[in-house]
Structure 1
């Protein structure tokens, strides 16, 4: 059987306690109960864990891993006091959210069709946990239903049409994607703040657990929820709260006036505690990404995190245009997430997938890949990352025991110079002139150690615009030449295609031929820029093995045969088919950002003449001298290199050393 462990995440079922079992859980090697079969080699919370336990006569093994990038590095909580500006941010610990297990919080363990709830025993000093077997039949929420009825959906559409809302965002023609992002903001009403006795940490924790669960419910759709942050009202409610319809309208109106600017988001949800009759939540249908209506409200009491996550997931579905299930909808469970009546589920039906594909994925903001942001982390010794205040960090107990340079407390062993770095060898600084970074290609430059530090100098390379093999130009540390680009994709026989291929394909403005992509469309190349769109090749003798979701195209017209690749934002890898910056597009022209521009526009403040014709210019506009001449301008005798490369070695000494070794070997 397969096993799943859920921490306020994943496949939640409403908590129905039938049988009680007290078990001893063990997470780390020094805790009793759950034997840990394996984990990542690091101290602190592991990223990958295998756990085993036995209850109800069976042994269970659970595979779990940490959930990354759930909370970005930004203020997660804004305190609203009497309507004033956002207050102090609070810290969010990032290592408490797993797709599976996390120490000391509620989670679900599902083995086939049997589900258990696991929660820590309060005030236990021995890491004791309680396990309950859950039974759906004993708790019935079918009296309650979604507040968004078919009649209300029809009414919403009329209102939205009357103010010219964009009900359907434009889509890439012929584009399918496989990964989307939805950025969610949460506002916590004063009523829920009071529900937790004014304990901001508990309010914050509840919100994270809810969104963590919702995130896992949408994961099978390849929709990644990003929690942008939340605002907590700690003095009073800032909107009038009446019935659910009025409350939704008031919240949407309030969030448009300020929250959108303070905390940019794709959808915003309002958590409160109030009886709304049969309704637990209400959302505007198909309005994600549209500021005026991208909102929802949910009311909670004491139903539990699994129930809360289900309600929010249901309303997020409505935000995305996923409608209620009908009798023909199936998900492999008695009820699915978008069922009209409230019956907790974690699976979306085939109908929901169809709605998401046809409507939800057309929301333009879902195309936007969030900018890489550092996840909030607690600096700690033992995570294999050298942080402020640490001399080194050898990681786990096992790796530290084999590290002669660094100790378990993140200090260096007595008598050593260093514990890491490209210029650290056997715990000592490498000698001056030791090569620490080799040349990668003809457009790269070497770096050497200086003998006084463990760090290799910064990586420098030949100045952009310098000539290289095949009539190409160096740009961004590589020689950009069309024939070589084709060989890298289609093999050694391939070569650059005829100009007619570029003109015919790159002016189409589709995923096979374009000069870039905006949020909603492909950019057609002008005739002048067609050589800077997507690479077109010919003489292809072999079909390469490509990464998933990459499509090759073959086009034949007149006497021309054109080969190329596609690209769309759903592909989460580098675009191998875009013409590289620095590629020649005319006698005196070069491609920069998909445009064919004059070669003279490439900034170059250094020239071979400045280097006395005895070296090349690097990307910092300094001379890198040939051996025999020294920096800065290669006029005086020296060993070569630049002011950026570190001291070059004495090649004469190196040659004589090699000769001496050769003679000794002969003897």
Structure 2
């Protein structure tokens, strides 16, 4: 342990800091945000909120939508007892009150607000001007204060990091020597568009005391800061999620003499006390102590590299936006970004990695390049979703999840006052038989025969309540291989055919292209035509599998409006134009252009995993005759009765009140006969 401690305490490593210029507020303006419910042709889709605010001499309309998964749920919060032993809690953290958006008519704008405390709190960036908004306490008319953030450009010299070009070269050489980076070739997931940075925040004792020694106040402030950070990193397609919080409630765990020594000590403390307890991609210490002109310090390219994936940030005043910029800057260093030079530009006057404090919301071209370069070499952890084994979950009454020993769970006391069936102690109210489930209506179990899950297509099966359970029976569907429309077969709850797939993509007049199109395109082995991907290589379709690669369409009259990163292509074969879509590596949206499993590709053949395979299979335990032709075999090899017929012999029609087995739910109308087999 001593040798390891010495190694990390003496390890030379490049770090950069953020210098402190005087940042101050203008005189506040009193505003009352007015909700905009409709605004003509620019009306937003559901999920967006619009508010009109007048400040800075003109009226602005802010459009925003909820930012989900900003804070890990449950969020582990660690504090210390008066005996300095570690205590863990998992308080309720709302996930529907943080918003991201923009200001109408201003391309270079940013909105990051929260409504968790009853009003708007956060920032609005309009070109080079930034405004911070917060609710007026005890206001009955939804009043808010709006402050304009200014920076004193007359203060010189502006301190900056003393890292020289020679030192950068030396540290890069040191990184290679110690093998701190993973190369692109060693991580096959480098291409993904989704990146997630799991951030752990440690708050020092002075900041805790400054917040009235109130853990809830600290937690709320940190969540608001992370909301701002997340909005600033959104253009880089990086989600910053708060996955853990530790508050030094009983004194600091390390000395805070100088910032560089504190950063080094924090990395050592983190290595022995935090890294195994609370895994993270980056951890930052928020401190309320002045270090002269320095506002932060962090290890360059330290992300994913324990214990150097950390930084320290001075949280001295009350401006969440100002502090959010500081943390964003220092996280930028962790992600491989250096300070901007005269050749680095963005849409605004200053960029986030400018060495001195400023008001901005944009990264420079230099920062983008440095970010991509480091992520490709070193950011392997950013591509991994949180490991379920690492997610700490504590079962307790009030978390809105019905767990062992609970009859229901209506959440907080305030939420339970609106629940007609459940009590705050997670038991049912007197007279209530249930509190949730699709077979629960007005705290009573629905009668047998009540439809609880509709049939969505001809290869699906409906389900009805059985009269005894508040839950709908298991979702089942027609047995694979049963014929369905247009000579296709049911497969995994779907009747798949290429004509239908083309209509879904290119409109009702589209149809599947000729076999020549499939042969010409799918044997290319590129993102427009292939039969799967092996590591990073597109696989060319064998001739026998060409109908199972990318779907090729004809008779296309309209180019569809596809989601981000999607591309439509056309390929000319003789007198035919073949249309299709690409799906390149790293896309997180469903692939609409891959021929679906179960699609017919020949006589008694279907596509499975981009291969055309025979439907010959072992005899099934359930056949139409098993159900006496008055039912259908489902995917569990059981009979699913047609409406009006009862198992086991299907000899007599039944009344709706009669209960059937769990695999043959009763139909509400015995005379509405449904036949799936002729």
CA distance in 2, matches of 1:152, 1:248: 18
Is the CA contact 2:47–2:65 (under 8 Å) kept in the aligned structure 1? yes
CA distance in 2, matches of 1:493, 1:555: 15
Identify the match of residue 216 of structure 1 among 205, 222, 231: 231
Is the CA contact 2:515–2:547 (under 8 Å) kept in the aligned structure 1? no
Is the CA contact 2:335–2:375 (under 8 Å) kept in the aligned structure 1? yes
Identify the match of residue 508 of structure 1 among 525, 547, 550: 525
CA distance in 1, matches of 2:619, 2:275: 39
Normalised to the residue count of structure 1, the TM-score between the two structures is: 0.70
Report whether the alignment pairs 1:621 with 2:619.
no
Identify the match of residue 512 of structure 2 among 491, 495, 499: 495
Report whether the alignment pairs 1:646 with 2:665.
yes
Deviation at 1:553, TM superposition (A): 3.9
Deviation at 1:388, TM superposition (A): 4.9
Identify the match of residue 595 of structure 2 among 552, 555, 579: 579
Is the CA contact 1:506–1:533 (under 8 Å) kept in the aligned structure 2? no
CA distance in 2, matches of 1:254, 1:599: 61
Is the CA contact 2:516–2:573 (under 8 Å) kept in the aligned structure 1? no
Q: How does 1:65-464 map to 2 (within 5 A)?
A: 65-79=65-79, 87-98=88-99, 99-100=112-113, 102=115, 103=117, 107-108=122-123, 115-119=130-134, 130-137=145-152, 140=155, 143-146=158-161, 150-166=165-181, 168-169=183-184, 180-190=195-205, 192-196=207-211, 198-235=213-250, 237-238=252-253, 243-252=258-267, 254-255=269-270, 259-274=274-289, 276=291, 278-291=293-306, 293-302=308-317, 304-356=319-371, 360=375, 363-368=379-384, 388=408, 438-448=454-464, 459-464=475-480
Normalised to the residue count of structure 2, the TM-score between the two structures is: 0.70
**In the TM superposition, what whole-angstrom CA distance separates every residue of 1:14-54 from its partner, at most 9, and x where no partner exists?**
85244356x4x6xxxxxxxx2633579xxxxx976555566
- Aligned residue for 1:280, secondary structure, equals strand
CA distance in 2, matches of 1:573, 1:419: 35
**In the TM superposition, what whole-angstrom CA distance separates every residue of 1:440-496 from its partner, at most 9, and x where no partner exists?**
333122345668999865543212344445564322211234554455445666437
Distance 1:166 1:369, change over 3 A: same
What is the alpha-carbon root mean square deviation over aligned residues?
A: 5.6
Q: Which residue in the other structure is 1:16 paired with?
A: 24
**In the TM superposition, what whole-angstrom CA distance separates every residue of 1:585-611 from its partner, at most 9, and x where no partner exists?**
787876555577776789965444543
Distance 1:53 1:197, change over 3 A: closer
CA distance in 2, matches of 1:590, 1:648: 33
CA distance in 2, matches of 1:426, 1:388: 14
CA distance in 1, matches of 2:382, 2:519: 31
- Aligned residue for 1:226, secondary structure, equals strand
**In the TM superposition, what whole-angstrom CA distance separates every residue of 1:288-340 from its partner, at most 9, and x where no partner exists?**
34446433332333374222211111122223333322223333433221112
CA distance in 2, matches of 1:461, 1:514: 28
CA distance in 2, matches of 1:538, 1:48: 35
Deviation at 1:156, TM superposition (A): 3.0
Q: Which residue in the other structure is 1:7 paired with?
A: none
**In the TM superposition, what whole-angstrom CA distance separates every residue of 1:206-254 from its partner, at most 9, and x where no partner exists?**
3222212111212233433222222334445555666544544454455
- Aligned residue for 2:245, secondary structure, equals strand
Q: Which residue in the other structure is 1:477 paired with?
A: 493
- Aligned residue for 2:525, secondary structure, equals coil
Q: Which moved more, 1:332-341 or 1:489-498?
A: 489-498
Deviation at 1:162, TM superposition (A): 0.8
Q: Which residue in the other structure is 1:630 paired with?
A: 646
Distance 1:133 1:88, change over 3 A: closer
The structure with higher relative contact order (CA 8 Å, sep 6+) is: 1
CA distance in 2, matches of 1:203, 1:541: 57
Is the CA contact 2:150–2:359 (under 8 Å) kept in the aligned structure 1? no
Identify the match of residue 37 of structure 1 among 35, 38, 45: 35
Is the CA contact 2:74–2:91 (under 8 Å) kept in the aligned structure 1? no
Q: Which residue in the other structure is 1:566 paired with?
A: 582
CA distance in 2, matches of 1:272, 1:441: 58
CA distance in 2, matches of 1:172, 1:512: 25
Is the CA contact 1:14–1:136 (under 8 Å) kept in the aligned structure 2? yes
Report whether the alignment pairs 1:611 with 2:627.
yes
- Aligned residue for 1:227, secondary structure, equals strand
Distance 1:482 1:207, change over 3 A: same
CA distance in 1, matches of 2:22, 2:547: 56
CA distance in 1, matches of 2:133, 2:644: 72
Is the CA contact 1:156–1:285 (under 8 Å) kept in the aligned structure 2? no
Distance 1:250 1:329, change over 3 A: same
Distance 1:246 1:486, change over 3 A: same
CA distance in 2, matches of 1:645, 1:310: 60
Identify the match of residue 547 of structure 1 among 553, 556, 562: 562
Is the CA contact 2:641–2:665 (under 8 Å) kept in the aligned structure 1? no
Structure 1 unaligned segments of length 5 or more: list them: 1-12, 26-33, 41-45, 381-386, 656-667
CA distance in 2, matches of 1:123, 1:536: 60
**In the TM superposition, what whole-angstrom CA distance separates every residue of 1:610-665 from its partner, at most 9, and x where no partner exists?**
43454321134320234675224x4533369974453225554899xxxxxxxxxx
Is the CA contact 1:79–1:231 (under 8 Å) kept in the aligned structure 2? yes
CA distance in 2, matches of 1:510, 1:252: 44
CA distance in 1, matches of 2:291, 2:578: 63
**In the TM superposition, what whole-angstrom CA distance separates every residue of 1:160-201 from its partner, at most 9, and x where no partner exists?**
11122336535999x987654333222334454455464323
**In the TM superposition, what whole-angstrom CA distance separates every residue of 1:113-163 from its partner, at most 9, and x where no partner exists?**
655544456788987755545432388586343576655543332221112
